[in-house]
Amino acid sequence: MTNAMILCAGLGTRLRPLTDELPKPLVWLGDAPLVAHVVDRLARGGVRRVVINTHHLASVFHDGRLAGLPLEVGFVHEPRILGTAGGLTGALSVLGEGDVLVWNGDILADVDVGGLLEAHRGSGRLATLAVTPRHPDEARVGEGTVGLGASGEVVRLRGERFGVEVRGADFLGVHVVGAPLRPNLPAEGCLVGDVYLPALRAGGVLGSFAVPGGFRDLGTVDAYLEENRRWLRLTHRSAYVGTGATVDTEVELVGSVVGAGATVRGRGVLRDVVVWPGAVARAPLEAAVVMTDGRVVGPSRG
């Protein structure tokens, strides 16, 4: 059974000031923290154990907000950030040996996890990267972060070429690292730059697995608000009010998410707003995040 690792040790600097209070993988998305949505997708794809590495505000991962996840979750703390390859190396004792599915903790993507794992198992390749082809109806050679050969193998990575490219694509930050690569992973470094590129230079083969629809990177407040609106659309809601939240009778919620135990006071419309669990918001308000510590954060402009 393949285990998975969700990389959560980043600082989340682009999402400040939200990440002054919470690590990016724990920011509220709809009815659960961001990383809980990733864990749920992994569980539905057949993964039975997940390891999460932590660094920034690490104690928050253990305060109960991740209770009730659908599979076993272990944690590895990194006092110093080790990079994507180093993080995987540092989790060896928890993950065990074999293939491991790696998922960047700030990425949302509609990956068929079971299909990705099955594609890797039968390929004989060193790793398999989840990718979205650029313009599916056109080859668009040279576009995107990776180039693919006729059999879906990776032939371009970070500007280096290793074969004939027939299609450009984008790497989603979701991939299966094959067991043969793991014994030689560095104690610190990057899976792409320090593992995949040397493997390709040495004649190794990396595969790909197509994922329609691309991915969403919650790197800005704008993207974070949009992803909450997307969650409402996907769950067929006009708004969401969590358990124990209180909303004044003269407040109208439009496209807004109110977390568990939050309070919305005043009168008027709360439009496209995310109120974190336990926070207090006041209507009217539009296109903002209300943090638990009372700060109201709007999207960047310009």
CATH number reported for the structural domain that contains residue 21 in this entry: 3.90.550.10
In a domain, 103, yes or no: yes
Q: Are residues 262 and 209 in the same domain?
A: no
Q: Are residues 174 and 290 in the same domain?
A: no
Highest mean pLDDT, choosing among 94-103, 127-136, 229-238: 229-238
Q: Are residues 74 and 184 in the same domain?
A: yes
pLDDT band at 152 (very low <50, low <70, confident <90, very high): very high
Instruction: Identify which of 112, 222, 207 has the alpha carbon closest to the alpha carbon of residue 155.
Output: 207
Q: Are residues 96 and 131 in the same domain?
A: yes
In a domain, 255, yes or no: yes
Average pLDDT across the chain, whole number: 91
Q: Are residues 142 and 12 in the same domain?
A: yes
- Reply yes or no on whether the pLDDT at 129 is more than 70: yes
Q: Are residues 133 and 281 in the same domain?
A: no
pLDDT band at 138 (very low <50, low <70, confident <90, very high): low
Range of the domain at 110: 3-217
- Which amino acid, one-letter code, is at 20? D
Q: Are residues 202 and 95 in the same domain?
A: yes
In a domain, 223, yes or no: no
In a domain, 292, yes or no: yes
pLDDT band at 302 (very low <50, low <70, confident <90, very high): very low
Which comes out higher in pLDDT, residue 140 or 33? 33
Q: Which distant-in-sequence residues (6+ apart) come within 8 Å of 116 by Cβ?
A: 45, 101, 128, 130, 174, 176, 209
Q: Are residues 241 and 290 in the same domain?
A: yes
pLDDT digits (tens, 9 = 90+) for 12-67: 788 889 989 999 999 999 999 999 999 999 999 989 889 999 998 888 888 878 88
Show which of 217, 248, 278 is a domain's final residue: 217
Q: Are residues 252 and 134 in the same domain?
A: no
Q: Are residues 110 and 7 in the same domain?
A: yes
Structure tokens at 232: 């409402």
For the chain, what is the domain count? 2
pLDDT digits (tens, 9 = 90+) for 239-281: 999 999 999 999 999 999 999 999 999 999 999 999 999 999 9
pLDDT on residue 200: 96
Could you tell me the maximum CA-CA distance found in the chain, to the nearest angstrom? Answer: 66
pLDDT on residue 137: 64
Show which of 217, 250, 272 is a domain's final residue: 217
Q: How far apart are CA 33 and CA 12, in angstroms?
A: 15
